[in-house]
Amino acid sequence: MAPPGPAGAHPTPAAEPLSRSIFRKFLLMLGSLLTSLYVFYCLAERCRTLSDPVVGLSGGGGEEAGPRGAAEWDLMPRTLEGQITMEKTPSYFVTREAPARISAMSKDTKLIVVVRDPVTRAVSDYTQTLSKRPDIPSFESLTFRNRSAGLIDTSWSAIQIGLYAKHLEPWLRHFPLGQMLFVSGERLVSDPAGELGRVQDFLGLKRIITDKHFYFNQTKGFPCLKKAEGSSKPHCLGKTKGRAHPAIAREVLRRLRDFYRPFNRKFYQMTGQDFGWDG
């Protein structure tokens, strides 16, 4: 999971075609899909003036980062007319202090939340940890607090982060639902241009990101950007993305799906969006 960092204010580009620097901005928002899920943000030509920042949240990250200190929150620069200021940190969504702090900074901030199937997200989280610590216990042993009784261990962060309805509640106490966009991690893979179209609409930007900017990489298993202007090759995410997941017993996955089902349905009700994770 990418560590939190200060955001920058970027003036809106003036003309097409897309430059390599704009693609680089898109790639920054692409970094969390699948294991961390990617968050897309885009700056486009002739965009509508936005006087408030945009914050990216991800419910699909790996290990949870700690809350940010007060000094770090002060690093968000002021957004001038004709600019959009963007910040992305996956841990925001699950950090209890974040909603109040962001609201205190700007109540009109727009929020983009990228989520994926919590069961797949948990396996992906485990896969990332396993790549760094091969000696960790099995996924099954970490999942259950009592295996024979089928009790899920919600203290394990890989499980706890997927309780999206629980994490969304404090955000809705500080921000109206209309200021939040919920992006499907699955649709970012199956239809990246379509999901990015929703992001552009949400930000009031002209739709300039289309199917022509992507191709599906069979090796990686997800879309990559076609080469940007001035670049000699396409750009895909690094080797830490798209790792093969370990084999997990079907019974373990079934019990996890049963566990998450009521939380998923509550999340669908809260957001007004059915993500189709319960099929």
Annotated binding-site members for 3'-phosphoadenylyl sulfate: 116, 124, 241-245
What tokens were used for 263?
């939380």
Partners of residue 114 on adjacent β-strands: 58, 183
Contact 90, 21 (CB under 8 A): no
Dihedral angle over CA of 80, 81, 83, 84, nearest 10: 80
What tokens were used for 63?
């290990």
The helix-helix angle for 250-271 and 164-172 (nearest 10°) equals 20
Annotated binding site: 116, 124, 241-245
Amino acid residing at 244: A
Amino acid residing at 33: L
Partners of residue 151 on adjacent β-strands: 146
Give residue 276's region: left, alpha or beta (phi > 0; psi -120 to 50): left
Nearest Cα residue to 179 out of 171, 188, 187, 169: 171
Q: How many whole angstroms separate alpha carbon 12 and alpha carbon 14? A: 6
Q: How many whole angstroms separate alpha carbon 230 and alpha carbon 188? A: 25
Nearest Cα residue to 226 out of 217, 215, 218, 237: 215
